[in-house]
Amino acid sequence: MAAQIPASATAGPAHRTSGSATAAHRASISSISVGAYDDTYYKDAVGKTGKTLKDALHRIISSTQTGKLTYSQVWDALKNTDQDPANSANVILLYSGKSQSKNSNGGDPDDWNREHVWAKSHGDFGTATGPGTDLHHLRPADVSVNSTRGNKDFDNGGTEVGEAPGNYTDGDSFEPRDADKGDVARMILYMAVRYDGGDGFPDLEPNDTVGNGSKPNIGRISVLKEWSRQDPPSAFEKRRNQVIFDKYQHNRNPFVDHPEWVNEIW
Ligand SMILES: [Ca+2]
Ligand SMILES: [Ca+2]
């Protein structure tokens, strides 16, 4: 893979200073990331649209996923993929945004555990090696906040989650805080492209409803598209994509590299 970028090249926050240097560094991160893999990893997808693009991406991200983890291996992987760029002893939790000790994983309410952003009951794929252990949609999250999200679909609205300000929930949906909205959208859409009914796992697809229950669907696609647009890929998100590619699964989330492909497909 000639165009491979070392993880350090995309680890933005650790190198940031302040003022105009920050903006310049951000610009350089985005110029490194956008299109860096077009001539190699994505060469069979570039230029395609719609279903043809989705199918090409499915072939690419499936055939290159040569690393597959067990559910217990996910703990240590998340300590790396979601490391706090300002404190290597900590991970950043999805939804709450808190920086918390890597070693505080477990089952107590304020520990962190392994959040399946594509709720594993939607398709009932469990935690066998496969979609249930795919790092591209697994994130550290506070145990009780994860429980509040449960297996709800994603949509706007509800009551603010006390322990995780900026997140909202009602009886059938969850709205992540603004900084996580795009991440959630791109994780869900990765899963939809990666899992098309092969390998004994269900064909995961987004739809535009809530209350999907155990169906292999997650809503709402119209809201996810909007969230992806509002919250473009951050340095943190790009770094975790790179770490998963370099060290664990060897496949990439196409929507972190090419967020415009969301609208090309959906
Ligand atoms: Ca974000
Ligand atoms: Ca699918």
Model pLDDT, residue 97: 98
Burial letters 223-259, b for 16+ CB under 10 A, else e: bbbebbeebebbbbbbbbbbbbbeebbbbbbbbbbbb
Instruction: Please give the distance, rounded to the nearest whole angstrom, from the Cα atom of residue 13 to the centre of ligand 1.
Output: 13
pLDDT in tens, the chain (266 residues): 344 444 444 444 444 344 444 444 444 444 445 588 999 999 999 999 999 999 999 999 999 999 999 999 999 999 999 999 999 999 999 999 999 999 999 999 999 999 999 999 999 999 999 999 999 999 999 999 999 999 999 999 999 999 999 999 999 999 999 999 999 999 999 999 999 999 899 999 999 999 999 999 999 999 999 999 999 999 999 999 999 999 999 999 999 999 999 999 99
pLDDT of residue 34: 58
> What is the residue range of 227's domain?
37-265
Query: Is 14 part of a structural domain of the chain?
Result: no
Which amino acid is located at 166 in the chain?
G
Vertex 139, ends 56 and 244: CA angle to 5°? 50
Residue 115 covered by a domain: yes
Ligand 2 centroid – CA 197 distance (Å) = 7
Asked whether the beta carbons of 56 and 261 are under 8 A apart, the reply is no
Rounded distance from Cα 219 to ligand 1 centre (Å): 19
User: 16 in a domain, yes or no?
Assistant: no
Closest ligand by atom to 206 CA? 2
Q: 231 near 256, Cβ under 8 Å?
A: no
Which ligand sits closest to the CA of 227? 1
Residue 20, pLDDT score: 45
Q: In this structure, is residue 189 part of a structural domain?
A: yes
| φ, ψ for residue 203, nearest 5 deg | -80, 105
**pTM recorded for the entire structure:** 0.88
Alpha carbon of residue 115 to chain centroid: 11
Classify residue 207: in a domain, yes or no.
yes
Give the ligand with the smallest distance to the CA of 266.
Answer: 2
Establish if 13 belongs to a structural domain: no
Ligand 2 geometric centre to CA of 86 (Å): 36
Distance (Å, whole) CA 23 – CA 70: 39
- The pLDDT assigned to 234 comes to 98
Give whole-number Cα distances, 108 to 144, 182, 208, in Å.
8, 28, 34
pLDDT at residue number 235? 97
- Residue 91 bridge partners (DSSP): 83, 100
- Report the amino acid identity of residue 108: D
The two counts, helices (H) then strands (E), for the chain are 11, 11
Whether residue 89 is contained in a domain is answered as yes
| 3 within some domain | no
Determine how β-strand 87-92 pairs with β-strand 99-101: antiparallel
End-to-end alpha carbon distance in the chain: 30
Could you give the 3-state DSSP secondary structure of residue 175?
strand
Number of domains in the chain: 1
